[in-house]
Chains A and B, each alone.
Chain A
Amino acid sequence: MANDSPISLTVELGPLRLKNPVMVASGTFGYGQEYAELVPPERLGAMVVKGISLEPRSGNPPPRIWETCGGMLNAIGLQNVGLRAFVEEKLPWLNPLPVPVIVNLFGNTVEEYGKLAAALDGQEGIAGLEINISCPNVKAGGMIFGSDPKMVFQVVSAVRSRTNLPVITKLTPNVTDITVTARAAQDAGTDILSLINTVAGMAVDAQTRQPRLANVVGGLSGPAIKPIALRMVWQVVQVSTVPVIGLGGIVSVEDALEFLIVGAKAIQVGTANFINPGVTLEIIDGLEDYLRQRNLEDINEIIGTLEVP
Protein backbone atom coordinates (compact mmCIF):
# COMPACT_ATOMS: atom_id res chain seq x y z
CA MET A 1 0.00 0.00 0.00
CA ALA A 2 1.42 3.34 -1.00
CA ASN A 3 1.78 5.39 2.13
CA ASP A 4 2.67 8.52 0.22
CA SER A 5 -0.52 8.65 -1.85
CA PRO A 6 -2.13 12.07 -1.53
CA ILE A 7 -4.91 11.99 1.01
CA SER A 8 -7.21 14.98 1.25
CA LEU A 9 -9.10 15.70 4.42
CA THR A 10 -10.22 19.12 3.19
CA VAL A 11 -13.90 19.87 3.67
CA GLU A 12 -16.00 22.81 2.57
CA LEU A 13 -18.78 24.01 4.80
CA GLY A 14 -20.39 26.69 2.70
CA PRO A 15 -18.08 29.70 3.04
CA LEU A 16 -15.78 27.90 5.46
CA ARG A 17 -12.99 25.74 4.09
CA LEU A 18 -11.17 23.50 6.59
CA LYS A 19 -7.99 21.51 5.97
CA ASN A 20 -9.53 18.67 7.97
CA PRO A 21 -12.95 18.09 9.51
CA VAL A 22 -11.76 17.92 13.11
CA MET A 23 -12.66 20.91 15.29
CA VAL A 24 -12.61 21.44 19.04
CA ALA A 25 -15.90 22.35 20.70
CA SER A 26 -16.57 25.56 22.54
CA GLY A 27 -15.92 25.45 26.28
CA THR A 28 -13.67 22.40 26.12
CA PHE A 29 -10.48 23.97 24.82
CA GLY A 30 -10.41 27.34 26.55
CA TYR A 31 -8.97 29.97 24.22
CA GLY A 32 -6.48 27.51 22.71
CA GLN A 33 -3.57 28.45 24.97
CA GLU A 34 -4.56 25.97 27.65
CA TYR A 35 -3.66 22.95 25.46
CA ALA A 36 -1.14 24.55 23.10
CA GLU A 37 1.80 22.66 24.64
CA LEU A 38 0.18 19.34 23.74
CA VAL A 39 -1.99 20.16 20.72
CA PRO A 40 -0.48 22.49 18.10
CA PRO A 41 -3.56 24.53 17.10
CA GLU A 42 -2.45 24.57 13.45
CA ARG A 43 -3.09 20.83 13.19
CA LEU A 44 -6.79 21.31 13.88
CA GLY A 45 -9.44 21.86 11.23
CA ALA A 46 -10.77 24.75 13.30
CA MET A 47 -10.91 25.87 16.89
CA VAL A 48 -14.11 27.07 18.55
CA VAL A 49 -13.20 29.16 21.59
CA LYS A 50 -15.08 29.48 24.86
CA GLY A 51 -18.38 31.32 24.47
CA ILE A 52 -18.25 35.07 25.05
CA SER A 53 -20.89 37.59 26.04
CA LEU A 54 -20.97 41.40 25.85
CA GLU A 55 -20.10 41.74 29.53
CA PRO A 56 -17.93 39.38 31.62
CA ARG A 57 -19.86 36.64 33.42
CA SER A 58 -18.92 35.10 36.78
CA GLY A 59 -20.63 31.80 36.09
CA ASN A 60 -22.48 29.58 38.55
CA PRO A 61 -21.34 28.81 42.11
CA PRO A 62 -19.60 25.44 42.63
CA PRO A 63 -20.01 22.53 42.48
CA ARG A 64 -20.27 22.85 38.72
CA ILE A 65 -19.39 19.33 37.60
CA TRP A 66 -20.43 15.76 38.30
CA GLU A 67 -19.26 12.60 36.58
CA THR A 68 -21.97 10.17 35.52
CA CYS A 69 -21.85 6.80 33.79
CA GLY A 70 -20.06 7.58 30.53
CA GLY A 71 -20.79 11.25 30.89
CA MET A 72 -20.02 14.54 32.52
CA LEU A 73 -22.73 16.79 33.88
CA ASN A 74 -21.77 20.46 34.03
CA ALA A 75 -23.29 23.77 34.93
CA ILE A 76 -20.54 26.33 34.37
CA GLY A 77 -22.97 29.13 33.59
CA LEU A 78 -20.99 30.58 30.67
CA GLN A 79 -18.25 32.09 32.82
CA ASN A 80 -16.22 34.20 30.43
CA VAL A 81 -14.00 37.26 30.22
CA GLY A 82 -16.47 39.30 28.15
CA LEU A 83 -16.13 40.88 24.71
CA ARG A 84 -13.63 43.60 25.59
CA ALA A 85 -11.12 41.38 27.39
CA PHE A 86 -11.51 38.75 24.67
CA VAL A 87 -10.61 41.24 21.96
CA GLU A 88 -7.79 42.86 23.97
CA GLU A 89 -6.24 39.84 25.72
CA LYS A 90 -7.19 36.65 23.89
CA LEU A 91 -7.51 37.61 20.23
CA PRO A 92 -3.93 38.92 19.83
CA TRP A 93 -2.64 35.44 20.71
CA LEU A 94 -5.20 33.70 18.47
CA ASN A 95 -4.88 36.04 15.50
CA PRO A 96 -1.53 34.85 14.05
CA LEU A 97 -2.38 31.14 14.40
CA PRO A 98 -2.68 29.31 11.08
CA VAL A 99 -6.01 27.80 12.12
CA PRO A 100 -9.54 29.10 11.59
CA VAL A 101 -10.78 30.51 14.91
CA ILE A 102 -14.52 30.36 15.43
CA VAL A 103 -15.92 32.57 18.18
CA ASN A 104 -18.88 31.17 20.10
CA LEU A 105 -21.18 33.95 21.24
CA PHE A 106 -23.98 34.27 23.70
CA GLY A 107 -26.45 37.04 24.57
CA ASN A 108 -29.18 37.66 27.12
CA THR A 109 -31.37 39.32 24.47
CA VAL A 110 -31.73 39.21 20.71
CA GLU A 111 -30.18 42.66 20.57
CA GLU A 112 -27.10 41.50 22.49
CA TYR A 113 -26.47 38.76 19.93
CA GLY A 114 -26.59 41.38 17.21
CA LYS A 115 -24.23 43.73 19.06
CA LEU A 116 -21.72 40.94 19.63
CA ALA A 117 -21.82 39.94 15.97
CA ALA A 118 -21.27 43.55 14.89
CA ALA A 119 -18.38 44.03 17.33
CA LEU A 120 -16.63 40.85 16.19
CA ASP A 121 -17.26 41.45 12.49
CA GLY A 122 -14.47 43.99 12.23
CA GLN A 123 -11.87 42.00 14.16
CA GLU A 124 -8.95 40.33 12.46
CA GLY A 125 -8.27 36.69 13.15
CA ILE A 126 -11.85 35.44 13.32
CA ALA A 127 -12.93 32.91 10.71
CA GLY A 128 -16.54 32.58 11.79
CA LEU A 129 -19.13 32.94 14.52
CA GLU A 130 -20.97 30.16 16.30
CA ILE A 131 -24.25 31.26 17.85
CA ASN A 132 -24.83 29.61 21.19
CA ILE A 133 -28.60 29.35 21.55
CA SER A 134 -28.38 26.09 23.40
CA CYS A 135 -26.68 26.42 26.76
CA PRO A 136 -28.90 24.80 29.39
CA ASN A 137 -27.14 26.41 32.35
CA VAL A 138 -28.18 30.03 32.35
CA LYS A 139 -31.44 31.59 33.38
CA ALA A 140 -31.93 34.04 30.53
CA GLY A 141 -31.47 33.28 26.85
CA GLY A 142 -29.53 30.13 26.03
CA MET A 143 -31.73 27.11 25.71
CA ILE A 144 -34.87 29.24 25.99
CA PHE A 145 -33.92 30.85 22.68
CA GLY A 146 -32.77 27.55 21.29
CA SER A 147 -35.97 25.59 21.87
CA ASP A 148 -38.37 28.15 20.38
CA PRO A 149 -38.20 28.23 16.55
CA LYS A 150 -39.44 31.84 16.45
CA MET A 151 -36.66 32.94 18.80
CA VAL A 152 -34.09 30.91 16.85
CA PHE A 153 -35.15 32.78 13.72
CA GLN A 154 -34.87 36.16 15.45
CA VAL A 155 -31.46 35.50 17.01
CA VAL A 156 -29.94 34.09 13.85
CA SER A 157 -31.41 36.97 11.81
CA ALA A 158 -29.92 39.48 14.26
CA VAL A 159 -26.47 37.97 13.88
CA ARG A 160 -26.79 37.40 10.13
CA SER A 161 -27.68 41.04 9.49
CA ARG A 162 -24.69 42.35 11.47
CA THR A 163 -21.83 40.25 10.11
CA ASN A 164 -20.27 39.06 6.89
CA LEU A 165 -18.46 36.27 8.69
CA PRO A 166 -19.64 32.68 8.21
CA VAL A 167 -22.39 32.01 10.77
CA ILE A 168 -22.79 28.66 12.52
CA THR A 169 -25.87 28.05 14.66
CA LYS A 170 -25.40 25.54 17.50
CA LEU A 171 -28.61 23.68 18.23
CA THR A 172 -29.88 22.26 21.49
CA PRO A 173 -31.02 18.63 21.66
CA ASN A 174 -33.55 19.58 24.34
CA VAL A 175 -36.46 19.85 21.92
CA THR A 176 -39.09 17.45 20.61
CA ASP A 177 -38.12 17.80 16.95
CA ILE A 178 -34.71 19.23 16.19
CA THR A 179 -35.48 19.59 12.50
CA VAL A 180 -37.90 22.40 13.36
CA THR A 181 -35.23 24.58 15.00
CA ALA A 182 -32.73 23.56 12.31
CA ARG A 183 -35.12 24.85 9.63
CA ALA A 184 -35.71 28.08 11.56
CA ALA A 185 -31.94 28.75 11.71
CA GLN A 186 -31.60 27.94 8.04
CA ASP A 187 -34.49 30.22 7.09
CA ALA A 188 -32.82 33.04 9.03
CA GLY A 189 -29.69 32.65 6.96
CA THR A 190 -27.27 30.54 8.98
CA ASP A 191 -24.43 29.23 6.82
CA ILE A 192 -23.84 26.12 8.89
CA LEU A 193 -25.53 24.17 11.69
CA SER A 194 -23.68 22.51 14.56
CA LEU A 195 -25.31 19.95 16.84
CA ILE A 196 -25.72 18.89 19.54
CA ASN A 197 -25.06 20.93 22.66
CA THR A 198 -25.39 19.15 26.01
CA VAL A 199 -28.45 17.17 27.01
CA ALA A 200 -30.22 18.61 30.06
CA GLY A 201 -29.68 16.38 33.07
CA MET A 202 -29.44 16.14 36.84
CA ALA A 203 -27.79 14.16 39.63
CA VAL A 204 -28.68 13.85 43.32
CA ASP A 205 -26.74 12.74 46.40
CA ALA A 206 -29.07 10.24 48.07
CA GLN A 207 -27.20 10.58 51.38
CA THR A 208 -27.68 14.32 51.74
CA ARG A 209 -30.74 14.57 49.41
CA GLN A 210 -29.00 17.51 47.74
CA PRO A 211 -28.37 18.04 44.03
CA ARG A 212 -24.81 17.31 42.92
CA LEU A 213 -24.69 20.65 41.06
CA ALA A 214 -25.27 23.98 42.77
CA ASN A 215 -27.33 24.95 39.71
CA VAL A 216 -29.46 21.80 40.38
CA VAL A 217 -29.63 20.93 36.67
CA GLY A 218 -26.85 20.85 34.12
CA GLY A 219 -25.84 19.67 30.70
CA LEU A 220 -24.68 16.13 29.99
CA SER A 221 -21.78 15.55 27.61
CA GLY A 222 -19.45 12.67 26.86
CA PRO A 223 -19.89 9.23 25.27
CA ALA A 224 -23.25 8.74 27.02
CA ILE A 225 -24.92 11.19 24.61
CA LYS A 226 -23.33 10.00 21.36
CA PRO A 227 -26.29 7.92 20.10
CA ILE A 228 -28.63 10.86 20.69
CA ALA A 229 -26.28 13.21 18.85
CA LEU A 230 -25.81 10.83 15.94
CA ARG A 231 -29.55 10.35 15.51
CA MET A 232 -30.17 14.11 15.55
CA VAL A 233 -27.38 14.86 13.08
CA TRP A 234 -28.80 12.23 10.76
CA GLN A 235 -32.31 13.73 11.08
CA VAL A 236 -31.09 17.25 10.39
CA VAL A 237 -28.95 16.20 7.44
CA GLN A 238 -32.12 14.78 5.77
CA VAL A 239 -33.86 18.16 5.76
CA SER A 240 -31.01 20.65 5.77
CA THR A 241 -29.72 22.61 2.81
CA VAL A 242 -26.71 23.91 4.75
CA PRO A 243 -23.70 21.90 5.95
CA VAL A 244 -23.90 20.25 9.38
CA ILE A 245 -21.16 19.92 12.00
CA GLY A 246 -21.71 16.89 14.25
CA LEU A 247 -20.75 16.73 17.88
CA GLY A 248 -21.73 14.96 21.06
CA GLY A 249 -19.67 12.28 22.78
CA ILE A 250 -16.98 11.83 20.13
CA VAL A 251 -13.93 10.19 21.74
CA SER A 252 -12.32 8.23 18.87
CA VAL A 253 -11.82 8.10 15.12
CA GLU A 254 -14.62 5.51 14.90
CA ASP A 255 -17.00 7.96 16.56
CA ALA A 256 -15.91 10.72 14.18
CA LEU A 257 -16.43 8.45 11.19
CA GLU A 258 -19.96 7.59 12.32
CA PHE A 259 -20.90 11.27 12.27
CA LEU A 260 -19.27 11.82 8.86
CA ILE A 261 -20.98 8.74 7.44
CA VAL A 262 -24.44 9.97 8.49
CA GLY A 263 -23.68 13.24 6.73
CA ALA A 264 -21.83 15.67 9.00
CA LYS A 265 -19.27 17.64 6.97
CA ALA A 266 -17.11 18.17 10.04
CA ILE A 267 -17.07 17.14 13.68
CA GLN A 268 -16.26 18.78 17.00
CA VAL A 269 -14.53 17.07 19.90
CA GLY A 270 -15.50 18.29 23.35
CA THR A 271 -15.33 16.41 26.63
CA ALA A 272 -12.81 13.94 25.18
CA ASN A 273 -10.17 16.70 25.21
CA PHE A 274 -10.22 16.52 29.01
CA ILE A 275 -9.70 12.76 29.07
CA ASN A 276 -7.16 12.52 26.29
CA PRO A 277 -5.74 15.90 25.25
CA GLY A 278 -4.18 14.31 22.14
CA VAL A 279 -7.49 12.88 20.91
CA THR A 280 -8.01 15.36 18.06
CA LEU A 281 -4.57 14.55 16.61
CA GLU A 282 -5.35 10.82 16.89
CA ILE A 283 -8.65 11.35 15.06
CA ILE A 284 -6.98 13.33 12.24
CA ASP A 285 -4.34 10.62 11.78
CA GLY A 286 -6.99 7.94 12.12
CA LEU A 287 -9.11 9.46 9.34
CA GLU A 288 -6.11 9.38 7.00
CA ASP A 289 -5.42 5.77 7.90
CA TYR A 290 -9.06 4.85 7.33
CA LEU A 291 -8.99 6.33 3.82
CA ARG A 292 -5.61 4.81 2.98
CA GLN A 293 -6.71 1.35 4.08
CA ARG A 294 -9.68 1.61 1.69
CA ASN A 295 -7.67 3.08 -1.20
CA LEU A 296 -9.65 6.30 -0.95
CA GLU A 297 -8.08 9.72 -1.37
CA ASP A 298 -10.70 12.17 -0.20
CA ILE A 299 -12.68 12.37 3.02
CA ASN A 300 -15.65 13.61 1.01
CA GLU A 301 -15.95 10.07 -0.36
CA ILE A 302 -17.05 9.04 3.15
CA ILE A 303 -19.33 11.91 4.10
CA GLY A 304 -23.03 11.10 3.84
CA THR A 305 -22.54 7.53 2.71
CA LEU A 306 -24.75 5.81 5.27
CA GLU A 307 -26.08 2.62 3.74
CA VAL A 308 -29.52 1.78 5.08
CA PRO A 309 -30.28 -1.79 3.97
Chain B
Amino acid sequence: MLLRNAKILFNNPVSLELYHMALVCPDIAATIQPGQFLMVRIQDRLDPLLRRPFAVHRLYPNDPPGSFEMLYKVVGRGTQLLSNMLAGDSVNLLGPLGRGFRLPEEKGSVLMVAGGIGIAPLPYLAETIAASGCKGPSVLWFGGKNSADLVCVQHFNDLGFTVQLVTEDGSEGRKGLVTGHLEQWLTQQNELPGVIYSCGPYPMQRSVAEMAARLGISSQLSMEALMGCGVGACLSCSLRCRPPEGTQEPHYANVCQDGPVFDGEEIVWDESSS
Protein backbone atom coordinates (compact mmCIF):
# COMPACT_ATOMS: atom_id res chain seq x y z
CA MET B 1 0.00 0.00 0.00
CA LEU B 2 1.56 3.26 -1.16
CA LEU B 3 0.63 6.92 -0.88
CA ARG B 4 1.79 8.82 -3.97
CA ASN B 5 1.14 11.97 -5.97
CA ALA B 6 0.58 11.17 -9.62
CA LYS B 7 0.64 13.55 -12.57
CA ILE B 8 -2.23 13.55 -15.03
CA LEU B 9 -1.13 12.86 -18.63
CA PHE B 10 -4.56 13.42 -20.08
CA ASN B 11 -8.19 13.59 -18.96
CA ASN B 12 -10.39 13.19 -22.03
CA PRO B 13 -14.13 12.74 -22.40
CA VAL B 14 -15.08 9.61 -24.32
CA SER B 15 -18.80 10.32 -24.15
CA LEU B 16 -21.05 12.79 -22.38
CA GLU B 17 -20.44 11.20 -18.96
CA LEU B 18 -17.38 8.96 -19.38
CA TYR B 19 -13.77 10.08 -19.11
CA HIS B 20 -10.38 8.49 -19.62
CA MET B 21 -7.72 9.76 -17.23
CA ALA B 22 -4.12 8.67 -17.69
CA LEU B 23 -1.71 8.97 -14.76
CA VAL B 24 1.99 8.36 -14.22
CA CYS B 25 2.97 6.53 -11.05
CA PRO B 26 5.65 3.87 -11.62
CA ASP B 27 5.54 2.44 -8.06
CA ILE B 28 1.84 1.73 -8.24
CA ALA B 29 1.86 0.65 -11.89
CA ALA B 30 4.56 -1.89 -11.04
CA THR B 31 2.48 -3.70 -8.44
CA ILE B 32 -1.23 -3.19 -9.07
CA GLN B 33 -3.13 -6.29 -10.20
CA PRO B 34 -6.27 -6.44 -12.37
CA GLY B 35 -9.33 -5.78 -10.23
CA GLN B 36 -7.44 -3.98 -7.48
CA PHE B 37 -8.24 -0.32 -6.99
CA LEU B 38 -6.91 3.05 -5.88
CA MET B 39 -8.40 5.59 -3.49
CA VAL B 40 -8.01 8.94 -5.23
CA ARG B 41 -7.87 12.22 -3.38
CA ILE B 42 -9.07 14.61 -5.99
CA GLN B 43 -7.85 17.86 -4.50
CA ASP B 44 -5.72 18.98 -1.61
CA ARG B 45 -8.83 20.46 0.02
CA LEU B 46 -11.69 19.18 2.14
CA ASP B 47 -14.35 19.25 -0.55
CA PRO B 48 -15.02 16.55 -1.51
CA LEU B 49 -14.01 15.19 1.86
CA LEU B 50 -13.39 11.53 1.15
CA ARG B 51 -11.28 9.77 -1.43
CA ARG B 52 -13.00 8.01 -4.32
CA PRO B 53 -12.25 4.44 -5.39
CA PHE B 54 -11.26 3.70 -9.02
CA ALA B 55 -10.02 0.59 -10.76
CA VAL B 56 -7.14 0.57 -13.21
CA HIS B 57 -8.67 0.45 -16.69
CA ARG B 58 -5.53 -0.12 -18.73
CA LEU B 59 -1.87 -0.31 -17.89
CA TYR B 60 0.85 1.14 -20.13
CA PRO B 61 4.17 -0.21 -18.87
CA ASN B 62 6.20 1.67 -21.50
CA ASP B 63 4.27 4.59 -22.87
CA PRO B 64 5.47 6.42 -20.84
CA PRO B 65 6.92 4.02 -18.26
CA GLY B 66 4.72 3.48 -15.22
CA SER B 67 1.55 4.97 -16.64
CA PHE B 68 -2.00 3.70 -16.49
CA GLU B 69 -5.50 4.78 -17.27
CA MET B 70 -8.74 5.02 -15.28
CA LEU B 71 -12.19 5.09 -16.88
CA TYR B 72 -14.76 6.94 -14.80
CA LYS B 73 -18.31 8.16 -15.04
CA VAL B 74 -19.37 11.57 -13.78
CA VAL B 75 -22.01 10.69 -11.19
CA GLY B 76 -21.54 13.23 -8.39
CA ARG B 77 -19.50 16.09 -7.05
CA GLY B 78 -16.24 14.14 -6.75
CA THR B 79 -16.23 12.83 -10.30
CA GLN B 80 -17.45 16.24 -11.57
CA LEU B 81 -14.36 17.89 -10.04
CA LEU B 82 -12.18 15.09 -11.39
CA SER B 83 -13.51 15.71 -14.90
CA ASN B 84 -12.40 19.37 -14.68
CA MET B 85 -8.77 18.48 -14.03
CA LEU B 86 -6.16 19.07 -16.71
CA ALA B 87 -3.02 17.40 -18.00
CA GLY B 88 -0.17 18.40 -15.70
CA ASP B 89 -2.36 18.55 -12.58
CA SER B 90 -1.78 15.96 -9.84
CA VAL B 91 -3.97 13.69 -7.78
CA ASN B 92 -3.00 11.77 -4.65
CA LEU B 93 -3.29 7.99 -4.82
CA LEU B 94 -3.59 5.41 -2.05
CA GLY B 95 -3.05 1.87 -3.26
CA PRO B 96 -2.93 -0.73 -4.68
CA LEU B 97 -5.88 -1.85 -2.57
CA GLY B 98 -8.09 -4.90 -2.26
CA ARG B 99 -8.20 -8.37 -3.70
CA GLY B 100 -8.27 -8.47 -7.51
CA PHE B 101 -9.25 -11.07 -10.10
CA ARG B 102 -7.65 -14.52 -10.12
CA LEU B 103 -6.41 -15.47 -13.58
CA PRO B 104 -8.04 -18.39 -15.42
CA GLU B 105 -6.48 -21.75 -16.06
CA GLU B 106 -4.34 -21.89 -19.18
CA LYS B 107 -6.70 -23.71 -21.53
CA GLY B 108 -10.05 -22.56 -20.21
CA SER B 109 -12.26 -20.18 -22.11
CA VAL B 110 -13.13 -16.85 -20.57
CA LEU B 111 -16.40 -14.96 -20.43
CA MET B 112 -16.51 -11.34 -19.31
CA VAL B 113 -19.74 -9.51 -18.53
CA ALA B 114 -19.90 -5.74 -18.15
CA GLY B 115 -22.76 -3.37 -17.42
CA GLY B 116 -22.17 0.32 -18.14
CA ILE B 117 -19.19 1.73 -16.23
CA GLY B 118 -18.61 -1.85 -15.01
CA ILE B 119 -16.39 -2.17 -18.08
CA ALA B 120 -13.74 -0.15 -16.18
CA PRO B 121 -11.60 -2.94 -14.65
CA LEU B 122 -11.98 -5.45 -17.51
CA PRO B 123 -9.53 -4.28 -20.22
CA TYR B 124 -6.58 -4.55 -17.81
CA LEU B 125 -7.78 -8.04 -16.86
CA ALA B 126 -8.16 -8.97 -20.55
CA GLU B 127 -4.65 -7.69 -21.35
CA THR B 128 -3.20 -9.63 -18.43
CA ILE B 129 -4.98 -12.82 -19.45
CA ALA B 130 -3.80 -12.40 -23.05
CA ALA B 131 -0.21 -11.80 -21.90
CA SER B 132 -0.33 -14.84 -19.60
CA GLY B 133 -0.66 -17.12 -22.63
CA CYS B 134 -4.22 -18.21 -21.98
CA LYS B 135 -5.25 -19.87 -25.24
CA GLY B 136 -8.97 -20.41 -24.71
CA PRO B 137 -11.60 -18.45 -26.64
CA SER B 138 -12.68 -15.20 -25.01
CA VAL B 139 -16.04 -13.50 -25.13
CA LEU B 140 -17.23 -10.16 -23.78
CA TRP B 141 -20.89 -9.44 -23.20
CA PHE B 142 -21.28 -5.71 -22.73
CA GLY B 143 -24.54 -3.97 -21.90
CA GLY B 144 -25.33 -0.28 -21.61
CA LYS B 145 -28.26 2.12 -21.52
CA ASN B 146 -27.40 3.25 -25.06
CA SER B 147 -24.57 3.12 -27.58
CA ALA B 148 -22.65 5.92 -25.81
CA ASP B 149 -21.99 3.55 -22.89
CA LEU B 150 -20.27 0.97 -25.11
CA VAL B 151 -16.68 2.22 -25.03
CA CYS B 152 -13.34 0.50 -25.76
CA VAL B 153 -14.98 -2.31 -27.73
CA GLN B 154 -12.22 -2.15 -30.37
CA HIS B 155 -9.63 -2.88 -27.71
CA PHE B 156 -11.35 -6.16 -26.85
CA ASN B 157 -11.57 -7.01 -30.55
CA ASP B 158 -7.83 -6.39 -30.85
CA LEU B 159 -7.19 -8.77 -27.94
CA GLY B 160 -9.08 -11.51 -29.81
CA PHE B 161 -12.37 -11.27 -27.91
CA THR B 162 -15.72 -11.92 -29.51
CA VAL B 163 -17.81 -8.96 -28.37
CA GLN B 164 -21.60 -9.14 -27.92
CA LEU B 165 -23.30 -5.78 -27.41
CA VAL B 166 -26.64 -5.05 -25.77
CA THR B 167 -28.36 -1.72 -25.18
CA GLU B 168 -31.52 -0.98 -23.22
CA ASP B 169 -32.78 1.36 -25.96
CA GLY B 170 -31.65 -0.83 -28.84
CA SER B 171 -29.37 1.88 -30.28
CA GLU B 172 -26.59 -0.68 -30.70
CA GLY B 173 -26.46 -4.47 -30.66
CA ARG B 174 -29.32 -6.46 -29.15
CA LYS B 175 -32.08 -4.65 -27.29
CA GLY B 176 -32.72 -5.28 -23.60
CA LEU B 177 -30.61 -6.25 -20.59
CA VAL B 178 -27.30 -8.00 -21.01
CA THR B 179 -28.28 -10.74 -18.57
CA GLY B 180 -31.48 -11.47 -20.51
CA HIS B 181 -29.58 -12.34 -23.69
CA LEU B 182 -26.60 -13.92 -21.99
CA GLU B 183 -28.34 -16.93 -20.50
CA GLN B 184 -29.96 -17.84 -23.81
CA TRP B 185 -26.60 -17.57 -25.53
CA LEU B 186 -24.88 -19.66 -22.86
CA THR B 187 -27.39 -22.48 -23.18
CA GLN B 188 -26.65 -22.61 -26.92
CA GLN B 189 -22.89 -23.05 -26.45
CA ASN B 190 -21.32 -26.48 -26.98
CA GLU B 191 -18.72 -25.71 -24.36
CA LEU B 192 -19.32 -23.52 -21.33
CA PRO B 193 -16.69 -20.94 -20.29
CA GLY B 194 -14.32 -21.96 -17.50
CA VAL B 195 -14.92 -18.73 -15.61
CA ILE B 196 -17.13 -15.65 -15.73
CA TYR B 197 -15.65 -12.28 -14.78
CA SER B 198 -18.31 -9.67 -14.17
CA CYS B 199 -18.63 -6.03 -13.18
CA GLY B 200 -21.74 -3.89 -13.24
CA PRO B 201 -24.79 -2.79 -11.25
CA TYR B 202 -25.92 -4.94 -8.29
CA PRO B 203 -28.97 -6.51 -10.02
CA MET B 204 -26.83 -7.50 -13.01
CA GLN B 205 -24.18 -8.99 -10.75
CA ARG B 206 -26.84 -10.96 -8.95
CA SER B 207 -28.24 -12.35 -12.23
CA VAL B 208 -24.76 -13.29 -13.42
CA ALA B 209 -23.91 -15.04 -10.14
CA GLU B 210 -27.17 -16.98 -10.11
CA MET B 211 -26.81 -17.91 -13.77
CA ALA B 212 -23.24 -19.08 -13.21
CA ALA B 213 -24.34 -21.17 -10.23
CA ARG B 214 -27.16 -22.78 -12.24
CA LEU B 215 -24.75 -23.72 -15.02
CA GLY B 216 -21.94 -24.78 -12.70
CA ILE B 217 -19.51 -22.07 -13.86
CA SER B 218 -17.30 -20.27 -11.36
CA SER B 219 -17.86 -16.52 -11.25
CA GLN B 220 -15.69 -13.66 -10.05
CA LEU B 221 -17.59 -10.43 -9.48
CA SER B 222 -16.07 -7.01 -8.93
CA MET B 223 -18.46 -5.33 -6.48
CA GLU B 224 -19.08 -1.67 -5.79
CA ALA B 225 -19.90 0.08 -2.50
CA LEU B 226 -19.77 3.52 -0.94
CA MET B 227 -16.35 3.61 0.71
CA GLY B 228 -14.76 5.60 3.50
CA CYS B 229 -11.16 4.52 3.91
CA GLY B 230 -10.41 1.78 1.35
CA VAL B 231 -8.20 -0.18 3.77
CA GLY B 232 -10.63 -1.98 6.09
CA ALA B 233 -10.56 0.52 8.95
CA CYS B 234 -13.94 2.24 8.77
CA LEU B 235 -16.13 -0.80 7.97
CA SER B 236 -18.43 1.29 5.77
CA CYS B 237 -18.35 -0.66 2.49
CA SER B 238 -20.18 -3.73 3.75
CA LEU B 239 -21.39 -6.52 1.53
CA ARG B 240 -23.44 -9.34 3.00
CA CYS B 241 -21.59 -12.61 2.49
CA ARG B 242 -21.82 -16.18 3.72
CA PRO B 243 -20.39 -16.32 7.24
CA PRO B 244 -17.14 -18.23 7.76
CA GLU B 245 -17.78 -21.33 9.84
CA GLY B 246 -18.54 -20.61 13.48
CA THR B 247 -19.21 -16.90 13.03
CA GLN B 248 -22.42 -14.99 13.53
CA GLU B 249 -25.14 -14.00 11.07
CA PRO B 250 -25.42 -11.75 9.24
CA HIS B 251 -21.82 -11.59 8.08
CA TYR B 252 -20.65 -8.41 6.39
CA ALA B 253 -17.44 -8.44 4.37
CA ASN B 254 -15.55 -5.25 3.51
CA VAL B 255 -15.65 -4.63 -0.23
CA CYS B 256 -12.36 -2.72 0.07
CA GLN B 257 -10.37 -5.43 1.82
CA ASP B 258 -12.12 -8.78 1.27
CA GLY B 259 -12.99 -7.69 -2.31
CA PRO B 260 -13.69 -5.82 -4.48
CA VAL B 261 -13.61 -9.14 -6.36
CA PHE B 262 -15.77 -11.83 -4.75
CA ASP B 263 -16.66 -15.35 -5.85
CA GLY B 264 -20.33 -15.41 -6.80
CA GLU B 265 -21.05 -18.10 -4.20
CA GLU B 266 -19.68 -15.93 -1.38
CA ILE B 267 -22.33 -13.25 -1.67
CA VAL B 268 -25.72 -13.33 0.08
CA TRP B 269 -27.91 -11.33 -2.29
CA ASP B 270 -30.22 -8.71 -0.89
CA GLU B 271 -33.80 -9.00 -2.16
CA SER B 272 -34.54 -5.32 -1.65
CA SER B 273 -31.55 -4.09 -3.66
CA SER B 274 -32.38 -5.99 -6.84
- Give the segment of B67-75, B169-177, B180-188, B226-234 that binds chain A: B226-234
Task: Tell me whether A207 is interfacial, beta carbon within 8 Å.
Answer: no
Task: Tell me whether B57 is interfacial, beta carbon within 8 Å.
Answer: no
- A28 and B238 in contact, given A70-B46, A72-B49, A274-B51 (Cβ under 8 angstroms): no
Chain B residue at minimal CB-CB distance from A62: B238
- Mark each residue of chain A from 240 to 282: 1 if its CB lies under 8 Å from any CB of chain B, else 0: 0000000000010000000000000000000101111110000
Residues of B within 8 A of A301 (CB): none
Is A65's CB under 8 angstroms from B227's CB? yes
Task: Tell me whether A305 is interfacial, beta carbon within 8 Å.
Answer: no
Most A C-beta atoms less than 10 A away, residue of B3, B234, B248: B234
Residues of B within 8 A of A29 (CB): 233
Task: Tell me whether A59 is interfacial, beta carbon within 8 Å.
Answer: yes
Task: Tell me whether B236 is interfacial, beta carbon within 8 Å.
Answer: yes
Main secondary structure of the interface of B (DSSP, over half): loop
Residues of B within 8 A of A38 (CB): 1, 3
Is A59's CB under 8 angstroms from B233's CB? no
Q: Which of B49, B228, B232, B248 interacts with A74 by CB under 8 Å?
A: B228
Residues of A within 8 A of B250 (CB): 58, 61
Q: Which of A37, A62, A76 interacts with B239 by CB under 8 Å?
A: A62
Closest-CB distance, B184 to chain A (whole angstroms) = 32
Task: Tell me whether A27 is interfacial, beta carbon within 8 Å.
Answer: yes
Residues of B within 8 A of A50 (CB): 233, 235
Is A67's CB under 8 angstroms from B48's CB? yes
Task: Tell me whether B47 is interfacial, beta carbon within 8 Å.
Answer: yes
CB proximity to B under 8 Å, residues A57-90: 58-59, 61-67, 69-72, 74, 76, 79
Q: Which of B3, B47, B50, B232 interacts with A30 by CB under 8 Å?
A: B232
Main secondary structure of the interface of A (DSSP, over half): loop
Task: Tell me whether B63 is interfacial, beta carbon within 8 Å.
Answer: no
| Bound-complex Cα distance A28 to B235 (A) | 9
Closest-CB distance, B227 to chain A (whole angstroms) = 7
- Ordered by A's residue number, 16 sampled pairs between the chains whose C-beta atoms are within 8 Å are A34-B231, A34-B232, A35-B233, A50-B233, A55-B248, A59-B252, A62-B238, A62-B252, A64-B236, A65-B236, A74-B228, A76-B234, A79-B238, A222-B46, A275-B41, A277-B231
Residues of A near any B CB (own CB < 8 A): 27-30, 34-35, 37-38, 50, 55-56, 58-59, 61-67, 69-72, 74, 76, 79, 222-223, 251, 271, 273-278
Top 4 A-B residue pairs of the complex, sorted by shortest distance between their CB atoms: A65-B236, A30-B233, A274-B229, A62-B238
